[in-house]
């Protein structure tokens, strides 16, 4: 029987949306603390150099400058990083990229801070720099870190690829590259802080992970846990880059020394210069099929450039290796992904963690094989697409909620229709049309490591419910969804739930808002807390209603007997009784997905408890003379388990597609060259296609009410679908992203389209 | 360093204000820092993102590119001035209902651009809506729910008038 839900599954109004449309809501840059001083960093102007000396005299002499801090002023551990600690807040003896901060200036005004930063004198001894990750791996290459340039390597090995290649019907080997990408959230990083009456350093920050920020600032300053409090300010998008410390450490350092309010708002230029980017990849891949189009082997050697610091690089390498096969069952796999240090701006997490880069490769190979065998692109995906009961390359048996085939089925009618009625419709003689398919899978949560979430669900003696969660809502809507989950369990309305979010003074760790994990993992943690609370309420109700527990349910703020709903007692009354008896109304929830760490040599293990699946179809029109690509429509089918808030899911899909269009066609961050939004183009309304979002619900048994996640999956299939569309339009494939005007024209010329037709 | 200052008088959100501002201050700075109207956002400071959009004498402009001194004598509306005592502006309502707001940082700009359009045109086409918001970058929504929300505001207004 279909389960009936009251609150989840409805697109209720999102939390804070009213304050957002009236302009009342305060983002970090809007927080005004009285007599606040302003921070600014002096950044390296060398990609790689030893620091001979730092002279702050002149900076201190600038009118309005209060203090200048360098690495020496950091009382605790001057090393940051969520996975491996390799990034100093302020450079000590060397700089490894243009983004490195050397000194922190505190001043009365922005202008004074800027002049102060400019007046800091740094004497460098230039070192040779390395920017290419392949070069960086060669013997004798300049070492970016003492331990060498290879940060990590993830292997996934299964079966015998060589044997499979020998017996294969068709073998195709290609190389793909992807570019560095700027997240370009519209709110530049910002924060503000003050010291409260107890001496605690209170820091408001635009962040995706307040509890991690807390840990890092505590370590940096060498203080006790309760001496720092991070409060997540309303956060204007993050997409992965606000997982690293951006302004938090600087604010903490200034507060520690000066004990007076400070603020730090990055200009867009500083946000470009100093924050993490998406890892560019070089991917060499060889795949083989049998004569029916079944993929029998995949071999991949990939290198990703993490720049000067690790940030989330190891996670990106790990996830990309696991996702190398795409959502397809392949018996023989040999994948090796290396994450390499260079002197570029550091790269970290960005929506998809390497999976979008992998998708370019596996989806292009899919189409190449289809072409080689004369198969339809959708058909070859159906043949190879994962189904429940199959095993992944890491040896994980996929038991349930494997909705990839459903996604293909959902796209199929649009595909057939487009082929029939759109593809050959008359068009400008210099325009060619193409249809492309892109598939993806995406493991929810961190890769093969523990990544628990906790939450506290509390009821007052008057029956009012408050949820305390460290889960940062960065605009994707997690706060709303967690309130819905709590309300569903307790028979309340979503707006009966007060949400206290991302304040390390009173919330507990929910882990990062990343890896599309919050609905699934924090959703389950909140559900766990709510169910524990529900249990004591039910126990109390048994007493009141004289009916067994399993005959009771929550409805409209009451506990009622299921078959005689008029027999009921209000939740408030139950809460009061529990409270008066000295019982507890405050419950901690916990969830950690069941995973098994990956074997370092073979990658065997259970990296994720569940996976989301998707298929996009792109209809593109290519101008063979200008290289312009007009993406007309994206049909996007996503298996999300259960859409707890369909409005949010659609929002993620449409937003992901837009970002995918940018990744496919226009975005490329070039360190040292890309300085402002004038140099970097993200899709505007005129660049985004019509999106047809299709929600597939293949419930995940371990998910909260069946839910999985959608944030990152939304972006992943778009670029490969577009590239496959362009390739079919031009009869010529593009292997490097972005497929910008130059590359498309080049392909057009090579394919012989670039000429006047009679 | 004494900076030259100028006195400006203008109307913002139906209130008259008069103040002395540094001659080189942008309109964005005057609104955010001097008048505490922080609903208007700074996303780039160079006219590329539209987060700072305000309506000046009926036209949507990037306040980061405008000098504060140019506000003198003008009628200015910021996002804080959209709602009235009788409630939210229909665009605000439709943005909320239509899930056009995710992180919300671009939202004030998008609202002001679409507000200027709706003041100018009774029944704008989809192309006109797209043109009006072409300078507003939203990295979260992909614009689709934004456009639909604006369209709904338009059609409900027309329905209301035809009733
Ligand atoms: S801040 Fe004015 S356009 Fe970006
Ligand atoms: S809602 Fe986040 S930038 Fe538009």
Are residue B12 and residue B33 in the same domain, yes or no?
A: yes
Chain A residues touching residue B78 (CB < 8 angstroms): 23
Least distant ligand from the CA of A184: 2
Q: pTM for this one?
A: 0.97
By C-alpha distance, which of A280, A241, A274, A278 is closest to A132?
A280
| Contact across the interface for B139 and A234, Cβ inside 8 Å | no
* A141-165 pLDDT per residue, tens: 999 999 999 999 999 999 999 999 9
By C-alpha distance, which of A423, A40, A505, A25 is closest to A230?
A505
**Total domains present in chain B:** 2
Q: What is the DSSP letter of B86?
A: T
pLDDT for residue A82 is more than 90: yes
A237 burial type by CB count under 10 A (0-12 exposed, 13-18 middle, 19+ buried):
buried
Are residue B94 and residue B129 in the same domain, yes or no?
A: yes
Out of B31, B63, B81, pick the residue that ends a domain. Answer: B81
pLDDT tier at A361, thresholds 50, 70, 90: very high
pLDDT for residue A1 is more than 50: no
| Contact across the interface for B92 and A21, Cβ inside 8 Å | yes
Strand partners, B18: B9
| Phi, psi (rounded to 5 degrees) for A281 | -120, 150
The distance from CA B28 to its chain's CA centroid, rounded to whole angstroms, is 11
Does ligand 2 have an atom closer than 6 angstroms to the CB of B121? no
- Number of Cβ within a 10 Å radius of residue A83: 18
Question: Distance from B163 to chain A by nearest Cα, in Å?
Answer: 28
CA of A499 to the centre of ligand 2 (A): 22
Q: Which residues of A436-468 are buried (b: 16+ CB within 10 A; e: fewer)?
A: bbbbbbbbbbbbbeebbbbbbbbbeeebebbbb
Higher pLDDT, A463 or A758: A463
Question: Distance from B140 to chain A by nearest Cα, in Å?
Answer: 5
Which pLDDT value is given to residue A288?
Answer: 98
* A379-436 pLDDT per residue, tens: 999 999 999 999 999 999 999 999 999 999 999 999 999 999 999 988 899 999 999 9
Are the C-beta atoms of residues B63 and B28 closer than 8 Å to each other? Answer: yes
A504 burial type by CB count under 10 A (0-12 exposed, 13-18 middle, 19+ buried):
buried
pLDDT for residue A2 is more than 60: no
Are residue B120 and residue B77 in the same domain, yes or no?
A: no
The H or E element containing residue A281 is: strand A281-289
| Contact across the interface for B142 and A688, Cβ inside 8 Å | yes
Question: Distance from B149 to chain A by nearest Cα, in Å?
Answer: 13
Residues 18-57 of B with CB under 8 A from A: 32, 36-46, 48-49, 51
Chain A residues touching residue B40 (CB < 8 angstroms): 23
Residue A729: left (phi > 0), alpha (psi -120 to 50), or beta?
alpha
Chain B residues touching residue A183 (CB < 8 angstroms): 139
Ligand 2 pocket test: which of A19, A237, A648, A682 has the largest number of ligand atoms within 8 Å of its C-beta? Answer: A237
* A339-359 pLDDT per residue, tens: 999 999 999 999 999 999 999
- Integer distance in angstroms from the first to the last C-alpha of chain B? 62
**Between the CA of residue A312 and those of A45, A80, A348, A578, what are the distances in Å?**
24, 12, 5, 46
Q: What is the mean pLDDT of residues A178-199?
A: 98
Of B49, B80, B99, the CB nearest to A11: B99
Are residue B55 and residue B109 in the same domain, yes or no?
A: no
Largest CA-CA distance found in chain B, in angstroms, rounded = 62
Fold of A17-22+452-591: Aldehyde Oxidoreductase; domain 4 (3.30.365)
Are residue B77 and residue B116 in the same domain, yes or no?
A: no
| Contact across the interface for A21 and B95, Cβ inside 8 Å | yes
Q: What is the mean pLDDT of residues A650-675?
A: 97
Which pLDDT value is given to residue A263?
Answer: 98
By C-alpha distance, which of A631, A623, A615, A635 is closest to A417?
A635
Question: Distance from A303 to chain B by nearest Cα, in Å?
Answer: 28
Does ligand 2 have an atom closer than 6 angstroms to the CB of B138? yes
Q: What is the mean pLDDT of residues A693-718?
A: 98
Which pLDDT value is given to residue A758?
Answer: 45
Are residue B69 and residue B98 in the same domain, yes or no?
A: no
Reported in sequence order, the residue ranges of A517-557 that DSSP labels E, i.e. its strands, are: 552-555
The distance from CA A347 to its chain's CA centroid, rounded to whole angstroms, is 13
Whether B158 and chain A come into contact, CB under 8 Å, resolves to no
Q: What's the CATH number of domain A31-127+189-265, 3.20.20.60, 3.30.2350.10, 3.90.1170.50, 3.30.70.3450?
A: 3.90.1170.50
Which pLDDT value is given to residue B1?
Answer: 44
Mean pLDDT of chain A: 97
Distance (Å, whole) CA A377 – CA A360: 15
- What is the edge-to-edge ordering of all strands in the sheet holding A564-570? A552-555, A558-561, A564-570
Residues of chain B with pLDDT under 70: 1-2, 163
- Host domain of residue B136: 90-161
Q: What is the mean pLDDT of residues A594-620?
A: 98
Residues 192-221 of A with CB under 8 A from B: none
Helices first, then strands: H and E counts in chain A = 18, 28
**For residue A738, cis peptide bond before it (omega within 30 degrees of 0):** yes
CATH of the domain at B33: 3.10.20.30
Chain B residues touching residue A648 (CB < 8 angstroms): 99
Distance (Å, whole) CA A128 – CA A289: 45
| Contact across the interface for A654 and B106, Cβ inside 8 Å | no
Which pLDDT value is given to residue B160?
Answer: 86
Whether A30 and chain B come into contact, CB under 8 Å, resolves to yes
The ligand 1 atom at the shortest distance from the C-alpha of residue B135 is 3
Does ligand 2 have an atom closer than 6 angstroms to the CB of B142? no
Are residue B48 and residue B111 in the same domain, yes or no?
A: no
Are the C-beta atoms of residues A267 and A247 closer than 8 Å to each other? Answer: no
Percent of chain A with pLDDT over 90: 98
Domains in chain A: boundaries: 17-22+452-591, 31-127+189-265, 277-446+599-750
CATH fold match for the domains A31-127+189-265 and A277-446+599-750: no
Which pLDDT value is given to residue A184?
Answer: 98
Out of B59, B81, B103, pick the residue that ends a domain. Answer: B81
Which pLDDT value is given to residue A754?
Answer: 79
Which pLDDT value is given to residue A4?
Answer: 87
Are residue B103 and residue B48 in the same domain, yes or no?
A: no
Size of interface A-B (CB pairs under 8 A): 171
What are the residue ranges of helices labelled H in chain B?
27-29, 90-97, 107-120, 126-132, 144-162
Structural class in CATH, domain A277-446+599-750: alpha beta
Q: What is the mean pLDDT of residues A484-494?
A: 97
Largest CA-CA distance found in chain A, in angstroms, rounded = 91
* A282-331 pLDDT per residue, tens: 999 999 999 999 999 999 999 999 999 999 999 999 999 999 999 999 99
Reported in sequence order, the residue ranges of B13-139 that DSSP labels E, i.e. its strands, are: 15-22, 53-56, 59-62, 75-77
Return the residue matching tokens 């302004």: A247
| Contact across the interface for B141 and A658, Cβ inside 8 Å | yes
């Amino acid at each position: 029987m279909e389960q009936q839900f009251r609150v989840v599954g409805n697109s209720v109004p999102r939390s804070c949306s009213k304050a957002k449309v009236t302009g009342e809501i305060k983002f970090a840059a809007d927080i005004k603390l009285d007599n606040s001083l302003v921070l600014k960093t002096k950044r390296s102007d060398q990609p790689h150099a030893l620091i001979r000396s730092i002279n702050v005299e002149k900076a201190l002499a600038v009118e309005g400058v209060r203090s200048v801090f360098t690495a020496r002023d950091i009382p605790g551990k001057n090393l940051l990083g969520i996975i491996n600690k390799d990034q100093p807040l302020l450079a000590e003896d060397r700089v490894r990229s243009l983004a490195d901060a050397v000194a922190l200036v505190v001043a009365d005004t922005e202008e004074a801070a800027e002049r102060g930063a400019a007046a800091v004198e740094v004497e460098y001894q230039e070192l040779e720099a390395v920017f290419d990750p392949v070069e960086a791996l060669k013997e004798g290459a300049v070492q970016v870190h003492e331990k060498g340039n290879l940060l990590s390597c993830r292997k996934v090995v299964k079966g015998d690829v060589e044997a499979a290649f020998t017996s294969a019907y068709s073998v195709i080997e290609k190389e793909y590259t992807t570019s560095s990408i700027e997240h370009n959230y519209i709110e530049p990083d910002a924060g503000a802080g003050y010291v409260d009456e107890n001496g605690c350093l209170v820091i408001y920050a635009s962040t995706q992970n307040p509890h991690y920020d807390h840990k890092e600032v505590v370590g940096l300053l060498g203080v006790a846990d309760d001496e720092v409090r991070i409060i997540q300010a309303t956060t204007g998008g993050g997409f992965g880059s606000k997982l690293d410390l951006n302004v938090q450490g600087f604010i903490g350092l200034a507060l520690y020394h000066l004990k007076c309010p400070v603020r730090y708002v990055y200009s867009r230029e500083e946000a470009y210069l100093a924050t993490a980017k998406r890892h560019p990849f070089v991917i060499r891949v060889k795949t083989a099929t049998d004569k029916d189009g079944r993929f029998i082997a995949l071999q991949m050697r990939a290198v990703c450039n993490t720049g000067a610091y690790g940030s989330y690089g190891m996670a990106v390498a790990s996830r990309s290796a696991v996702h190398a096969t795409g959502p397809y069952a392949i018996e023989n796999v040999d994948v090796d992904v290396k994450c390499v240090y260079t002197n570029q701006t550091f790269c970290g997490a960005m929506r998809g963690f390497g999976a979008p880069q992998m998708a370019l490769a596996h989806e292009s190979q899919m189409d190449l094989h289809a072409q080689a065998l004369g198969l339809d692109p959708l058909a070859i995906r159906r043949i190879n697409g994962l189904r429940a009961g199959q095993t992944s390359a890491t040896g994980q048996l996929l038991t349930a909620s494997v909705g990839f085939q459903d996604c293909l089925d959902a796209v199929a009618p649009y595909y057939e229709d487009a082929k029939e009625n759109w593809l050959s419709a008359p068009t400008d003689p210099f325009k060619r049309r193409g249809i492309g398919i892109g598939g993806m899978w995406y493991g929810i949560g961190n890769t093969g490591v523990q990544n628990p979430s906790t939450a506290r669900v509390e009821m007052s003696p008057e029956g009012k419910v408050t949820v305390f969660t460290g889960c940062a809502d960065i605009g994707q809507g997690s706060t709303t969804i967690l309130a819905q989950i709590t309300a569903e369990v307790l028979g309340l309305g979503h707006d009966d739930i007060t949400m206290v979010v991302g304040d390390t003074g009173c919330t507990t760790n929910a882990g990062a808002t990343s890896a599309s994990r919050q609905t699934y993992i924090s959703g389950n943690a909140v559900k766990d807390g709510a169910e524990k609370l529900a249990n004591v309420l039910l126990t109390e109700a048994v007493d009141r209603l004289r009916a067994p527990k399993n005959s009771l349910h929550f409805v409209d703020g009451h506990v009622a007997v299921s078959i005689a709903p008029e027999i009921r007692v209000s939740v408030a009354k139950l809460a009061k009784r529990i409270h008066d008896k000295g019982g507890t109304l405050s419950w901690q929830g916990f969830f950690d997905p069941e995973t098994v760490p990956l074997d370092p040599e073979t990658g065997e293990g259970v990296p994720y408890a569940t996976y989301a699946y998707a298929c996009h179809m792109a209809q593109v029109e290519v101008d063979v003379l200008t290289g312009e690509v007009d993406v007309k429509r994206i049909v996007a089918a996503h298996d999300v388990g259960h859409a707890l808030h369909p409005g949010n899911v659609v929002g993620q899909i449409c937003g992901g597609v837009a970002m995918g269009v940018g990744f496919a066609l226009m975005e490329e961050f070039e360190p040292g060259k890309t300085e402002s939004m004038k140099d970097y183009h993200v899709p505007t309304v005129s660049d985004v296609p019509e999106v047809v979002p299709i929600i597939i619900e293949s419930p995940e048994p371990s998910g909260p009410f069946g839910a999985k996640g959608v944030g990152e999956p939304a972006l992943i299939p778009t670029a490969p679908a577009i590239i496959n569309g362009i390739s079919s339009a031009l009869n010529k494939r593009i292997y490097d992203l972005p497929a910008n005007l130059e590359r498309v024209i080049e392909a057009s010329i090579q394919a012989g389209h670039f000429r006047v037709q009679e | 360093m004494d900076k030259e200052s100028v006195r400006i008088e203008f109307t913002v959100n139906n209130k008259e204000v008069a103040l002395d501002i540094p001659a080189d201050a942008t309109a964005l700075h005057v609104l955010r820092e001097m008048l505490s109207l922080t609903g208007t956002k700074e996303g780039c400071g160079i006219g590329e993102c539209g987060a700072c959009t305000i309506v000046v004498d009926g036209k949507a402009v990037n306040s980061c590119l405008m000098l504060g001194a140019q506000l003198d004598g003008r009628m200015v509306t910021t996002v804080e001035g959209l709602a009235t005592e009788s409630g939210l502006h229909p665009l605000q309502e439709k943005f909320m209902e239509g899930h056009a707001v995710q992180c919300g940082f671009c939202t004030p700009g998008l609202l002001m651009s679409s507000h200027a359009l709706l003041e100018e045109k009774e029944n704008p086409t989809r192309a006109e809506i797209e043109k009006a918001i072409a300078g507003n970058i939203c990295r979260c929504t992909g614009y689709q729910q934004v456009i639909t929300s604006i369209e709904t505001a338009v059609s409900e207004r027309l329905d209301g008038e035809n009733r």
